[in-house]
Structures are given as structure tokens and as C-alpha cells.
Structure 1
Amino acid sequence: MKISLLSFIAFFAAAMAVQAADKIRVSTFSTILTEIAQQVGGDRVAVTGHVKPGIDPHEFEPKPEDLKIVGDAQLILLSAKHMESYVGKLKEATGTKGDLVEVGDGFASLKMKSEKDPDKVVEDPHWWQSVLYTEKAVKIVRDELIKVSPADKATFTENAAKYLAKLDALEKWVKVELAKLPRDKRKLVTSHDAFQYFARENGFTIHAIEGVSSEDQPSSKKVGDIVAAIKSEGVKAIFPGEHRKSPK
């Protein structure tokens, strides 16, 4: 009986190892892309999200252990638009083994002034604040997974369709709720200027304390300007954002 139990455990462990090895290895560098890959890939993927929830993506730098995992990945998903300044390291780590996809690269960018250099105009990298762009990202991830494993096309297509339906429902809910707020009252004050895409689609005016990166420290003059704007615009509610940890 004891031998049979040990044999069963050994067989089960071996079966699990084979199953894990059979999954598509995906590395992501955005919590949004981690969720998309998991939702679309389902049980056919093993997703490693290198940027964990609560970690500031602007300050993230891949460690040697991250690069080792990337080197073994079949698909690497990046936000693009200069969000991952370390993309060169990832390309070097994966070589020709994995497909490295900069998901947001083809999305039309909104521009903004850099807080560090007011004379410099930069791309706003926060495209996922747009449901439309997030839906495009789902389709891109779906197609990339199909390229890696054509045999799973039906599964990835079905999973993506279900996730897109949820995003459509979310977009409709947002529109219904925002319809209750008059357009002249749609003022958004934020400590991190990451909501341009959302504001464009929903008619908000943004007053941001910081610039494109959460690494930026606002000047006392900038803070004073924001306080004055809040008072003059008659902003009724302010929702403080979460404090993200530096990964360093």
C-alpha cells in the first residue's frame, strides 16, 4: 500500500511537470498585460508578471532573475511608448528565442510636456486608460498567442471574445454613470498625469500635479497652481491615488 501511494505521488508529480512544460511561457512587464495574457491564454499559458501589483512601473528595472526567465519565455509582452526603458536588456536576454511584442507601439499617442524638461514633448504611455486601446491590446495578445500555438487558436479566440465582452460591458457602465455628471463638471485632479486617454474619451479636463512619470517631484509653484485651479473650478471631490512602492 505504501509503495502504491509513493508510486502514485511520483506519477502525479511527473504528470504535473509535463503539463507545466507544455504551457506557453509568457513574460509580461505590465499588470494590465499580465491580466490580459492570463484571461486570453487560460490554462494554456504560464504567465510571469515581472512588474507586481503595487510596484511603480516607472522605476522598475529587471533583475538578473527576471532576465533569466525572459530568456526562456516564448512570448514577451511590453506596454511600449518608452514605458520600458530597459527594452534593450530584454531583447538581449531573449535573443531570437522568444517573440518580443511592444503591444502599445501602434496606438496613436497623446503628447504631453515632460515634467523633468518642460521644453521636451513626450508620448503619454498610459494607453490602457482607454478601453478602446485595451480591447486592441486583447486582440494583439490573442493573435500573438495563436502565432506561438496555432493548435490552440479556437481556445484563444473564445477566451478573448469573453474578455472583450466584459470590457464592452465595462465601457457601457462607465458611459451610463458619467452621463449623470454634466460635462462642465468633469474636472479631474490627479497626483500623476496618467489619465489623458480616459479624459479624451469621456470629456474630462485634467489638472495634474506631476508630469508623465511618478518619479517626478512637483515644484511648490506647481502645487500652488493646482490648489488655485481646484478653487477656481469648484472641484467638489478629490480621490487620492494609491502610493506605489519603488522596486529598488
Structure 2
Amino acid sequence: MNLQYKGRSSSIQRFIMMVFVVGVVLILSACGESKGTEAKAEVEGKLQVVTTIGMIKDIVEQVGGDHVEVIGLMGPGVDPHLYKASQGDIKKLDDADIIFYNGLHLEGKMVDILEKLNASKTTVAVSKNIPEDKLLSDPNVGAQGHDPHIWFDVKNWMSATEVVRDTLIDEDAAHAEDYRQHAEAYLKKLQETDDYVRGQIQSIPENSRILVTAHDAFHYFGRAYGMEVTGLQGISTASEYGSKDVSDLRDFLIEHQIKAVFVESSVSTKAIEAVIEGAKKKGHTVNIGGELFSDAMGQPGTEEGTYIGMVRHNANIMVEALK
């Protein structure tokens, strides 16, 4: 009898413990679900925005503030000319309320995807309001092709900011005044940046205002701020270059007695190093003046991880090497 009682007692204790454990699990699960639901509701209350390049993501964060949730597909060091969307990217694009991209064939390998999505959701090229006569041509694309690197003229990026502002207002009129105020503050900072860069470049002796880079990303910069610009590769890094391109650029450096060339954070240094070596063999020493940010910004949390910080960094590096 005692053994049977002890057996029943143990069974009852195990049952009570099981009920207790299950209860705790259910309570914790309910709390987790509640927190998850709250977090989801917080995100769902915001506009879901996906951008291609980091410079556009920065605009949306500046103008959208707490009313937007932004995902950028292309991070630091990523070349948009060669970028291919993954299945994960397509899911992000499909879930977005708004998609912002540069346009002008910068995102060459994503054009078809973006055009298809445009039929079902708000898909906006931030370059759309830049007048035709303000766009530079790209001879590699044909008569109607344009250089897509519009952000190197800060005035163009002010136009892009206005496109983002107006799109957010159209999609979320309830927060229109916030978007206007944020945009106004950011546009003021952009104007200050434009003035700063202009002053920096003008401090370089006129005959030294020659910018040589790995690929032709800086023509808008050259036109806006008064520099002669040349690159080894074409406007798109997808374009090929050969030994003649290397030798032609080498001869250009020697002829103009250029002392510094620049590498880019999103472009391989191999080709520009071949040019430097070729000049050295001809008796002309060329140094790498520094790393510029061209098609991608710096790491998040750094000065160069913002559009304004990136532009100021580039101007400072040029001045330091060429002044």
C-alpha cells in the first residue's frame, strides 16, 4: 500500500510539474507574440521603402525620418553597374510600398525588374526631374544614353531630394508637413555642401585641377566645380578596357605631368596600378592620391557613410593630393 501510494504521489507531482511548465511556456509564448505583434505594428505603421544605392537611402532617411522604414540593397563597396538582384532582394522589392532608384541605366542589370514592378507599385527614379540639358551623355549607350552619376553635382542631388519629398507626401499625406520640414533642412545642408566643395576645388591651382580615376564617374563633378576629369574605364564599370586604354592614360599622365591619381572604393585598383607602373617605366612617378567614394558610400556610422560626408571627403582628398 505504501509503495502504491508513493507511486501515485510521484505521478501526481510529475503531472503538476508538467502543467506548471506548460503554463510557463504558454505565458512566455504569449508575451513574445505580444512583443512581436507590437514590433510588427510599429513597422507596419511606417512606409516600407526600398532603395538601390546608398546615396538614395540616405535621402529617404533624412526626409522620411521616423515615418519610414528603409532598406538599401547596395551597401558600401558595391558596384551598381554590375549588381544582380538576389531572390531575397526581389522579395524586399515586392514587399515595399515605394521603390526609389537612380535611373539612367545605373542599375543596368535590374532595369527589367524595376520596370515590371512599376506596373504594380510606386517605383520612382530620383533623376526624373533633372532637365535634359543638365544631363551628360554616355557615348557607350548611344545617342539617347546619359551618364547616370548625377549625385556628383550636389545641385542634382537637391533635385533628387525634392523627388523623394514629393513622393513621400503623395503616399503619406498625413505626415506631409514633417516631410516638407525635413526636406527643407536637408536641402539647406546640401546647399552648404555645394558651397564648401566649390571653395575647396577653387583652392587648387588651376593647372592642377585634373582628376584621374579608375572609371569615368566624376564628369558631373568636373562640370559643376571646374575640374578636367578622365578615367581609365568608361562611365560604366561593365565596359571593357584594354592595353591601349592603359597606355593612353599613361601617356596623358606624362604629358600633363600629373603627380596623383585616385582609386575608388567600389572599383578594383588593379587597372589604375597598371597605369602607374607604366608611367614609372617611362620615368614619371605618379602616386595614388587617395581613395574616393564614387558609386557607393562608406561604412554606416562613419562620416563617409552619408552622402554629404562622402562628397566632403572626396573634395578634401582631392585638395590634399593636388593643391
SS of the residue corresponding to residue 71 of structure 2 reads strand
Q: Which residue of 2 aligns with 1:137?
A: 160
- Quick one: which of 91, 98, 105 aligns to 2:115? 91
> Which protein shows a greater Rg?
2
CA distance in 1, matches of 2:57, 2:266: 21
Q: Which residue of 2 aligns with 1:234?
A: 257
* Contact in 2 for aligned 1:78/1:103 (Cα 8 Å): yes
- Quick one: which of 186, 191, 194 aligns to 1:171? 194
- 1:35 CA drift (Å): 0.9
1:124 and 2:147 correspond? yes
Instruction: For 1:24-103, list aligned pairs within 5 A.
Output: 24-85=47-108, 86-93=110-117, 95-96=119-120, 98-103=121-126
Q: Whose RCO is larger (CA < 8 A, sep 6+)? A: 1
Q: Which moved more, 1:176-185 or 1:236-245?
A: 236-245
Instruction: For 1:206-245, list aligned pairs within 5 A.
Output: 206-244=229-267
1:9-32 deviations in whole A, cap 9, x for unaligned? Answer: 654433222111111011111111
Q: Which residue of 2 aligns with 1:109?
A: 135
Change (3 A) 1:93 1:68: farther
CA distance in 2, matches of 1:244, 1:210: 10
Looking at secondary structure, tell me which structure has more helix per residue: 2
- 1:231 CA drift (Å): 1.4
- 1:51 CA drift (Å): 1.7
**Structure 1: 5+ residue stretches without partners:** none
SS of the residue corresponding to residue 212 of structure 2 reads strand
SS of the residue corresponding to residue 261 of structure 2 reads coil
CA distance in 2, matches of 1:19, 1:168: 34
- 1:206 CA drift (Å): 1.4
CA distance in 2, matches of 1:236, 1:197: 23
What percent identity do the matched residue pairs reach? Answer: 29
- 1:94 CA drift (Å): 5.7
- 1:243 CA drift (Å): 4.2
TM-score, scaled relative to structure 2: 0.68
- 1:133 CA drift (Å): 0.4
Structure 2 counterpart of 1:88, one-letter code: D
TM-score, scaled relative to structure 1: 0.87
* Contact in 2 for aligned 1:112/1:212 (Cα 8 Å): yes
- Quick one: which of 159, 181, 185 aligns to 2:182? 159
CA distance in 2, matches of 1:67, 1:11: 29
1:172-197 deviations in whole A, cap 9, x for unaligned? Answer: 21122122113232101111101110
Aligned residues: 238
- 1:152 CA drift (Å): 0.6
SS of the residue corresponding to residue 137 of structure 1 reads helix
* Contact in 2 for aligned 1:73/1:94 (Cα 8 Å): no
Structure 2 counterpart of 1:104, one-letter code: S
SS of the residue corresponding to residue 260 of structure 2 reads coil
CA distance in 1, matches of 2:161, 2:243: 41
**Structure 2: 5+ residue stretches without partners:** 1-23, 269-323
Q: Which moved more, 1:127-136 or 1:99-108?
A: 99-108
SS of the residue corresponding to residue 107 of structure 2 reads coil
CA distance in 2, matches of 1:55, 1:243: 6
CA distance in 2, matches of 1:138, 1:111: 22
CA distance in 1, matches of 2:209, 2:179: 38
CA distance in 1, matches of 2:79, 2:50: 18
CA RMSD of aligned residues (A): 2.2
Change (3 A) 1:78 1:216: same
